Amino acid sequence: MRGQLSYLGVELARPRVAFFELTSCEGCQLQILNNEASLLDFLSLVEVVNFREAMTERHDDYDVAFVEGSVSRADEADRLRAIRANAKILVALGSCACFGGVNQLKNRFRDLDWVKREVYGDFPIITQEVLPLSAVVDVDLCIYGCPIRKEEVEKIVTNLVLGKAISHPRYPVCMECQASQNICLFDLGEPCLGPVTRAGCNAWCPSNRRGCWGCRGPADDANLAQLEKIMAERGVSAEAMLDRLECFGGFATQADLLRSAAADGRKP
Amino acid sequence: MENRLPFIDVLGGPGGRRREDFTSFEYTLPAEITSLYALTPTETLYQIRIIDPTARQRFTFQPGQFVMLELPGIGEAPFSISSSPVRHGDIELCIRRVGNLTNFLARLTRGARVGLSGPFGTHFPVEEMVGQDILLLAGGLGIVPLRSPLSAVLENRSNYGRVDIMYGARNPAELLFTYQYEEWRRFDINLAITVDQAGPGWQGPVGLITEVLKERLGQAGSLATGTCAIVCGPPVMFRFVCDLLTRAGLPPQKMFVSLERRMHCGRGKCCRCNIGSTYTCLDGPVFDYWSVMNLKEAI
Amino acid sequence: MKLSCDIAVKPLSRVEGHGNIHIRIEDGVLQEASWEVVETPRFFEAMLVGKHWENAPYICGRICGICSIGHTLASIRAVENGFAIEPSSQTAALRLLLKHMETLQSHVLHLAFLVAPDFLGTGSVLPLTKSHPEAVQRALRLKLLANDACDLIGGRRMHPTRTVVGGFTMLPDKAQLDLLLRRLRAAAPDLAATAELFASFTIPDFVRETEFVSLKGETDYPFIGGALMSSDGVERPEAGYLAMTNEYCTPASTAKWAKLSRPSFAVGALARCNNNFHLLHPTARAVAESFGLAPVCHNPFMTNIAQLVECVHVMADAARLIEELLDRSFTEPRQPVQSRAGLGVGAVEVPRGILYHAYEFDDAGRILHADCVIPTGQNHANILHDLEALARSWAAAGTPDLEIERLACMLVRAYDPCISCSVH
Amino acid sequence: MLFKVFAKDELPKLFDLLAANPVIAPVQKGVDQHGVPLFDFDVVHDFADLRLDYTSTIHSAKRYFLPYAETLATFTVDKGGWEKQVDLNIDRRQVLFGLHACDINALNKLDKVLVQSAYPNPFYAAKRRNMFIIGLQCTPRPQCFCRSMGTDFALHGFDMFLTDLGDSYFAEILSAAAFQFMARIVTREPGHDDHERYKAVVAEKNGRFQAKVDSSDLTKILDMEFESPAWKAWGDKCLSCGTCANVCPTCYCYGVEENVDLDLTGAVKTRRLHSCNLIDFAVVAGGHNFRPHSHARLKYRYYHKHRGFVEAFEEALCVGCGRCGEACLAGITVPAVIASVREGG
Ligand SMILES: Cc1cc2nc3c(=O)[nH]c(=O)nc-3n(C[C@H](O)[C@H](O)[C@H](O)COP(=O)(O)OP(=O)(O)OC[C@H]3O[C@@H](n4cnc5c(N)ncnc54)[C@H](O)[C@@H]3O)c2cc1C
Ligand code: SF4
Ligand code: SF4
Ligand code: SF4
């Protein structure tokens, strides 16, 4: 039913792919199912051998493992290591996997006992500091975004099949935002992390008049010091800048710096 | 309907424009790979022939010029023609695997279709070198563009004086065109080869190409008047080699270098190869050293 | 007759998140029936502490990828209620339309991709692309329509970008809305054919009496805000949600469980249908009746049918909303927000049931304390009790292992659990 | 050149005649946080949507000639080989209604490099030739320095050019097509009064310029100040975001991206506007970056525009529209950069 794949006379292997999730909202996997128009083409390009969200069958011999979510418990770290051992290519799918995502927001409290009590009272529960995949295993490829963009996943998978290198834009979101003819949000009085965030989302948020919150992490050579000045000049509070920087974990280092600089007692 | 302004077809419709003007862009000649020969684990020599015989015959080029080679959806990139200009649209390209296009090319087999456009750029003025001594200095992949002027010289060897090739590679395994060295020597070419690191069985010199050049200069103290140099290699090499040659009395307009920049069109439109006012694709890739010396950021 | 079995499904597939089923029968006697939720907690409620109100909908939408729109809307509603902001009628209409489209996309995804394989005897939708290509294409078309609509109104189908406290950052283009209306109308046959497919399935016959909790509609089938009700007769205002949920921790689960008049209750499409049947669009009611779905239905497997009925309802109601929106001239999309100290609660019916977000604010509008009660969390106890009852009957009947496993999975799947969301 | 004068209420009639073709014109896109209207070019259907009183647009009209992203070629691929299809992405004439002189001059500059040089770009040329352009006299803003760049008046590159004389328009007619359209509305020959009024309007305009760039000897100064500390200072501010290139009417540098279709039966080659301020602009094989620092890239932008282009075409690749300075969040403006480099830091 599915013949050998080939392109320009070069025979291509159909990769066996598997999807896994750790601590996450499972949205990035869902984005793949959200590919209505091209889902069937996508499915004929690869052989899905493991996708718990969509299918019951599973196999452990896969070439490419897409892992969504971050690591927040010891058992997850073990699962991740096992996946790493099986996979030829391990892909971090989405911001949780790449940077810790929103999950890492709890790391800012340092005091994990307080965090547990706040939600579960005295009931015992296991959790640890939230980590991106790369803190536990080697990651071959990152697909950024919260959520990921299906067009990007399709392009990446096509390139994987073809053996083309996967490269992300190295420049910031502004580039795509301006090319979308948007009014810059700063002109509307809204803060935006577009000038420092890695492009590739096609300025998803600014095109909808929502400032960028940096879900794709920093662009190469991001000039955060200048953005801080710009925000301050325009009357954006340091807190609002920090909220955005710390939201998805991509700017964790800078957020930590800002937070300790502010030390504004927001910690309970 | 009279308010509708008539459409102007720039490719051929009214307006009396020359058709060729506008079709040179994105116009690729269908070509085929007639042979692939792996020179090293990373470099392959491709023979590429324009399929249409008339177009093949019409495709003429000068040594040092480059073509844009295209594979759909994989990429398009500039490559120096490495073969003799006598052969027209049946060219040789020596390509190093560094990225998408070059890696995919290496997976193709004989008979595969590629798209070719060009030739583009400036060339080494070998006709003007008649009667003179020629120094060919190459580092690494730099030997590839030098092979074309070398072929031109070999076609008319007696027209030229002393010809030296000084060629450096990182290690013996990376040396290109080893099978031709004997042939070159037979044509009375002084071939000096050096490597950064010796490998098993390596008898020749170890060290930088500048050392080899110093040795050559040392013999005569300085260079004979009526010497030309052609230099091609990584950016750092240019500076050292050209400095040495300048000190040896070679005037800058008699040294020719071939520069490499990122290119997306080869036609002076994408600006990616731009160095100040200069387009590497239109004003280069071959420059005399005088022009390059005066270009900020060139080397 | 077979008398013993030990079945462990670990983890259950074709659901959102990780949950394990374990059933052990020895000599015809049920020894253990468990529903274990092993998902890792993310501590959203803690994350919000100290954050300015503006963060809440943005962060909380990330509780769940499937119902991110519902979470965002519940979060926005909680903030707006806390600050006593009344959304404009334009905002309310757009939010409801957005909500409908999320309901449609989520229900279709569940029915066609996660549930249908069970009835057609496959492990996933993949074989169905060959055996039932039209059915798959139909579902894909419906999902695409719903997702495109979410893009149009919310800016993005998942983790919406245009929805903010006070309204929207941007309004949809009217020409696009008009196109959506035409697409909605044209999609009716796809939904009808999907209903026909489900009519050909045999829905397992199982009844266990339980309590159903949902929003209480006044004039419309309820989705966003309003009073809370249960089929056992409990009624509470929105802000009194704690009295409806009574969350507690249990060792079997990293999610909190809930109870009301009985040891467990159910929320979701079946609960909504049971409690507000008379408010369904007439065409939806007709579909319900054709499946023999009438209040109060106590067969949890009928949740799938209730979802189908709701698809019909939301498509019809969405068309009405768009017509209304097209008739009015749009005003400013966003109203100003003035924060104040106090508590805000937002209750929203998301695909899997009633969802609550509640925040307590300080004077500066920062969150002092947050609480989110997720529909699947409220369903966990009911799922367990259903499993126990079913397992007992299987033990008595000597049902074969494979059949037990299949039905147990189908039962849990019928609840369309959103497990990672319930743990959050 | 032919001059005509017509009453203001004739303009909607002219618009309606031209509206048989797609019309692109300045419209209001919103207001900024201080209530100042924001304009941009867009396709219009109704004369009432036109904002001929616009100051400047956020983005230039460049994208109607050089789209930010454009398909250069598509390929069909099968077992036997492949075919390339090239479409210039334009199949009808369009009308650009209300372009200021600076922007017309920007097109004239682009013509030089994209049409009147070796290997003309047919994608640009086709759109340029098929754009019927109505120029419009502007009211300079404080940040406009077109007068310094010699681009405050357009001599060619348009079909007709309108100047608002209060109750009527003064029209310069350059093309036969424009002449034919003018014959369909009520016009009259300009009289002495009209000439006087025209000159007064122009004098008034000239008096409004505030920003200045001293471009005398600039090519040489840029060379001499190659190592100026000013570059480093500006580079530290630069966000390397490419916004300046996106809004600029004359920036045309691009990159090409090739993608294979998901079903492996075709491919697309896309041209995408790039910016010399982006970090990867000058990266070559092996990852070597010729301009790894933002100051080197920023300097390069000025080198290309105010030195390289001047050497090649005897004019700068900047029309002084001020858009880049206004769009730049870091506040990097052409007059300020050039002044500081002139001073040697
Ligand atoms: C005038 C000229 C002549 C050349 N002649 C030869 C030759 O004879 N043999 C040969 O092997 N190579 C030659 N090159 C280099 C060759 O063009 C690049 O190696 C090629 O573009 C890589 O393409 P790719 O798709 O495989 O790599 P990509 O996947 O595009 O990129 C891989 C790496 O190469 C860089 N790169 C991309 N495009 C270029 C480019 N145009 N020039 C330089 N680096 C680039 C990328 O930044 C990246 O670091 C020449 C370059 C020029 C400008
Ligand atoms: S809205 Fe954001 S991304 Fe867009 S140009 Fe402005 S700062 Fe850049
Ligand atoms: S605009 Fe920013 S927050 Fe939005 S998707 Fe892009 S990178 Fe993420
Ligand atoms: S002022 Fe800026 S935007 Fe305008 S033409 Fe000059 S460089 Fe371009």
- Residue D207 pLDDT greater than 80, yes or no: yes
Query: Is the CB of B42 inside 8 Å of chain D's CB atoms?
Result: no
In angstroms, rounded to a whole number, what is the distance separating the alpha carbons of residues D287 and C238?
A: 60
* B230, B163 Cβ separation under 8 angstroms: no
Q: Looking at the domain assignment, is residue D256 inside a domain?
A: no
| Chain A residue with Cα closest to B101 | A164
Average pLDDT over residues B94-115: 93
Cβ separation A163–B74 shorter than 8 A: no
Q: What ipTM is given for this predicted complex?
A: 0.89
Alpha helix (H) residue ranges in chain B: 19-23, 53-58, 100-107, 143-155, 181-186, 209-220, 235-247, 289-293
Q: Looking at the domain assignment, is residue D269 inside a domain?
A: no
CB of residue A240 inside a 6 A radius of ligand 2? no
Fold exhibited by the domain C44-423: Cytochrome-c3 Hydrogenase; chain B (1.10.645)
CA atoms within 13 A on the CB side of C224: 26
Whether D197 and D330 map to the same domain: the answer is no
Percent of chain D clearing pLDDT 70 (strictly above): 99
Whether D201 and D280 map to the same domain: the answer is no
Could you tell me the two tokens for B23? 């079709």
Residue whose CA lies nearest to ligand 4 atom number 7: D318
CB of residue A178 inside a 6 A radius of ligand 2? yes
pLDDT of the residue at B21: 60
Could you tell me the two tokens for A111? 């005091």
- Going residue by residue through chain C, which has 424 residues, state the pLDDT in tens, using 9 for 90 and above: 557 888 899 888 888 888 899 999 988 888 989 998 888 889 999 999 999 999 999 999 999 998 999 999 999 999 999 999 999 999 999 999 999 999 999 999 999 999 999 999 888 888 888 899 999 999 999 999 999 999 999 999 999 999 999 999 999 999 999 999 999 999 999 999 999 999 999 999 999 999 999 999 999 999 999 999 999 999 999 999 999 998 898 887 888 888 988 899 999 999 999 999 999 999 999 999 999 999 999 999 999 999 999 999 999 999 999 999 999 999 999 999 999 999 999 999 999 999 999 999 999 999 999 999 999 999 999 999 999 999 999 888 888 888 889 999 999 999 999 888 888 8
Neighbours of B92 (CB within 10 A): 19
Whether D189 and D288 map to the same domain: the answer is no
In angstroms, rounded to a whole number, what is the distance separating the alpha carbons of residues C80 and D240?
A: 39
pLDDT of the residue at B219: 66
Strand order through the sheet with D23-31: D2-7, D168-173, D160-164, D131-136, D94-99, D23-31, D37-44
pLDDT of the residue at B298: 62
- Residue B213 pLDDT greater than 60, yes or no: yes
In angstroms, rounded to a whole number, what is the distance separating the alpha carbons of residues A242 and A238?
A: 6
* D88, D140 Cβ separation under 8 angstroms: no
pLDDT of the residue at B13: 55
Which of D238, D241, D329 comes nearest A171 by C-beta?
A: D241
Could you tell me the two tokens for B273? 């190869």
Interface contacts A/B by beta carbons within 8 Å: 26
Q: What are phi and psi of A246, to 5 degrees?
A: -95, -5
**How much distance in Å is there from the Cα of B65 to the middle of ligand 1?**
15
Place of tokens 């209903």: C195
- Residue B19 pLDDT greater than 60, yes or no: no
Query: Is the CB of B23 inside 8 Å of chain D's CB atoms?
Result: yes
Cβ separation B104–A164 shorter than 8 A: yes
- Crossing angle of helices A238-247 and A252-262, rounded to 10°: 150
pLDDT of the residue at A1: 40
Global pTM exceeds 0.95: no
pLDDT of the residue at A268: 38
- Residue B45 pLDDT greater than 80, yes or no: yes
- Could you tell me the pLDDT band of residue A2, with boundaries at 50, 70 and 90? low
Q: Could you give all domains of chain B from N- to C-terminal order, each with its CATH number?
A: 29-120 (2.40.30.10), 127-258 (3.40.50.80)
User: CA distances (Å), A45 to each of A158, B231, C127, D89, in order?
Assistant: 8, 47, 16, 30
**How much distance in Å is there from the Cα of D57 to the middle of ligand 2?**
17
pLDDT of the residue at C171: 97
Q: Looking at the domain assignment, is residue D261 inside a domain?
A: no
**How much distance in Å is there from the Cα of A175 to the middle of ligand 3?**
13
**How much distance in Å is there from the Cα of A191 to the middle of ligand 3?**
13
Q: Kindly report the average pLDDT of chain D as a whole number.
A: 92
- Residue D216 pLDDT greater than 70, yes or no: yes
| Chain A residue with Cα closest to C253 | A125
In angstroms, rounded to a whole number, what is the distance separating the alpha carbons of residues C97 and B67?
A: 57
User: CA distances (Å), A193 to each of A196, A263, B149, D67, in order?
Assistant: 6, 22, 53, 25
**How much distance in Å is there from the Cα of A229 to the middle of ligand 2?**
15
Which chains form contacts with chain D, at 3 or more CB pairs under 8 Å?
Answer: A, B
Whether D173 and D97 map to the same domain: the answer is yes
Q: Strand locations in B97-217, DSSP E?
A: 113-120, 133-139, 163-169, 189-195
Whether D19 and D142 map to the same domain: the answer is yes
In angstroms, rounded to a whole number, what is the distance separating the alpha carbons of residues C77 and C346?
A: 5
Query: Partners of B113 in the beta sheet?
Result: B32
User: CA distances (Å), D94 to each of B6, C298, D114, in order?
Assistant: 10, 65, 20
Domain boundaries of chain C, sorted by first residue: 44-423
- Residue D236 pLDDT greater than 90, yes or no: yes
In angstroms, rounded to a whole number, what is the distance separating the alpha carbons of residues A246 and A213?
A: 9
pLDDT of the residue at A264: 52
**How much distance in Å is there from the Cα of D56 to the middle of ligand 4?**
12
A12 Cα to chain B: minimum distance (Å): 10
pLDDT of the residue at B23: 62
pLDDT of the residue at C374: 94
pLDDT of the residue at C261: 86
- Could you tell me the pLDDT band of residue D250, with boundaries at 50, 70 and 90? very high
- Determine the structural domain holding residue D184 and report its residue range: 2-66+89-206
Which of C40, C58, C123 comes nearest A23 by C-beta?
A: C40
pLDDT (tens digit, 9 = 90+) per residue, D97-143? 999 999 999 999 999 989 888 888 899 999 999 999 999 999 999 99
Element (H, E) at C370: strand C367-373
Cβ separation B73–D281 shorter than 8 A: no
Single-letter amino acid code for the residue at D224: M
Strand order through the sheet with C211-216: C235-236, C227-230, C211-216, C265-266
pLDDT (tens digit, 9 = 90+) per residue, A206-262? 999 999 999 999 999 899 999 999 999 999 999 999 999 999 999 999 998 888 877
If you ran DSSP here, which 8-state letter would residue A50 be given? E
DSSP letter string, C204-216: -------EEEEEE
Cβ separation C147–A23 shorter than 8 A: no
Cβ separation A226–D236 shorter than 8 A: yes
pLDDT of the residue at A113: 86
CA atoms within 13 A on the CB side of C58: 24
**How much distance in Å is there from the Cα of B91 to the middle of ligand 1?**
18
pLDDT (tens digit, 9 = 90+) per residue, A140-167? 999 999 999 989 999 999 999 999 988 8
DSSP letter string, C165-212: TTEESS---HHHHHHHHHHHHHTHHHHHHHHHHHHTS---------EE
DSSP letter string, A178-226: HHTTPPPGGGGT----TTTBB--S-STTGGGT-----TT-BPTT--HHH
pLDDT of the residue at B291: 81
The hierarchical CATH code for the domain A5-162 is 3.40.50.700
In angstroms, rounded to a whole number, what is the distance separating the alpha carbons of residues C204 and C412?
A: 13
If you ran DSSP here, which 8-state letter would residue C114 be given? I
Q: What angle do CA B42, B48, B50 make, to 5 degrees?
A: 155
- Counting ligands in written order, the one closest to the CA of A197 is 3
Cβ separation B269–D123 shorter than 8 A: no
pLDDT (tens digit, 9 = 90+) per residue, D21-65? 999 999 999 999 999 999 999 999 999 999 999 999 999 999 999
**How much distance in Å is there from the Cα of A203 to the middle of ligand 3?**
6
Chain centroid to CA B229: how far? Answer: 15
Single-letter amino acid code for the residue at C333: P
Q: Looking at the domain assignment, is residue D328 inside a domain?
A: yes
Three-state SS letters, chain D: CEEEEEEHHHHHHHHHHHCCCCEEEEEEEEECCCCCEEEEEEEECCHHHCCCCCCCECCCHHHHCCCCEEEEEEEEEECCEEEEECCCCCCCCEEEEEECHHHHHHHHHHHHHHCCCCCCCHHHHHHHHCEEEEEECCCCCCCCCHHHHCCCCCCCCCCEEEEECCCEEEEEECCHHHHHHHCCCCCECCCHHHHHHHHHHHHHHHCCCCCCCCCCCHHHHHHHCCCCHHHHHHHHHCCCCCHHHHHCCCCCCEEEEEEECCCCCEEEEEEEECCCCCCCCCECHHHCECCCCHHHHHHHHHHHHHHHHHHHHCCCCCCCCCHHHHHCCCCCCHHHHHHHHHCCC
Q: Looking at the domain assignment, is residue D266 inside a domain?
A: no
CB of residue A142 inside a 6 A radius of ligand 2? no
- Residue B261 pLDDT greater than 90, yes or no: no
Ligand 1 mutation target, pool B68, B74, B260, most atoms within 8 A of CB: B260
In angstroms, rounded to a whole number, what is the distance separating the alpha carbons of residues D31 and D47?
A: 20
In 3D, which of A11, D80, A164 has the Cα closest to residue B113?
D80
CB of residue A185 inside a 6 A radius of ligand 2? yes
pLDDT of the residue at B216: 82
In 3D, which of A116, A117, A146, A119 has the Cα closest to residue A128?
A116
Domain boundaries of chain A, sorted by first residue: 5-162, 173-263
What are the helix and strand counts (H, E) for chain B? 8, 14
Structural domain count, chain D: 2
Which of A158, A186, A223 comes nearest D260 by C-beta?
A: A158
Atom of ligand 4 nearest to the CA of D247: 3
Average pLDDT over residues A178-188: 95
CB of residue B141 inside a 6 A radius of ligand 1? yes
Cβ separation A195–D30 shorter than 8 A: no
In angstroms, rounded to a whole number, what is the distance separating the alpha carbons of residues D181 and D167?
A: 20
- Residues contacting ligand 4 via CB (< 6 Å): D 247-250, 305, 318-324, 334
Query: Is the CB of B200 inside 8 Å of chain D's CB atoms?
Result: no
pLDDT of the residue at B17: 47
User: CA distances (Å), A39 to each of A53, A153, C128, C135, C137, in order?
Assistant: 15, 11, 14, 15, 10
CB of residue A197 inside a 6 A radius of ligand 2? no
Mode of pairing for the β-strands spanning C265-266 and C211-216: parallel
Query: Partners of B95 in the beta sheet?
Result: B44
Which of D77, D117, D282 comes nearest B268 by C-beta?
A: D117
* B44, B94 Cβ separation under 8 angstroms: yes
- Counting ligands in written order, the one closest to the CA of A182 is 2
pLDDT (tens digit, 9 = 90+) per residue, B21-44? 666 777 889 999 999 999 999 999
- Could you tell me the pLDDT band of residue D322, with boundaries at 50, 70 and 90? very high
- Residue B121 pLDDT greater than 80, yes or no: yes
* B296, D226 Cβ separation under 8 angstroms: yes
In 3D, which of D342, C169, D93, C35 has the Cα closest to residue B5?
D93
Residue whose CA lies nearest to ligand 3 atom number 8: A215
Could you tell me the two tokens for D37? 């209207």
| Chain A residue with Cα closest to B72 | A8
If you ran DSSP here, which 8-state letter would residue C264 be given? -
User: CA distances (Å), C39 to each of A76, C12, C424, D321, in order?
Assistant: 10, 12, 9, 58
Could you tell me the two tokens for B254? 């008699």
pLDDT of the residue at B221: 65
Q: Looking at the domain assignment, is residue D72 inside a domain?
A: no
- Crossing angle of helices C133-154 and C188-199, rounded to 10°: 130
- Counting ligands in written order, the one closest to the CA of A212 is 3
Q: Identify from D116, D119, D271 which residue to disrupt to test chain B contact, counting B C-beta atoms within 10 A and taking the largest count.
A: D119
- Could you tell me the pLDDT band of residue A188, with boundaries at 50, 70 and 90? very high
In 3D, which of A151, C139, D51, B181 has the Cα closest to residue B165?
B181
pLDDT of the residue at B20: 42
pLDDT (tens digit, 9 = 90+) per residue, A3-56? 789 999 999 999 999 999 999 998 998 898 888 888 888 888 999 888 877 777
Residues of chain A contacting B99 with CB distance shorter than 8 Å: 165
In 3D, which of C246, C249, C237 has the Cα closest to residue C343?
C237
- Residue D73 pLDDT greater than 80, yes or no: yes
Q: What angle do CA B251, B252, B257 make, to 5 degrees?
A: 135
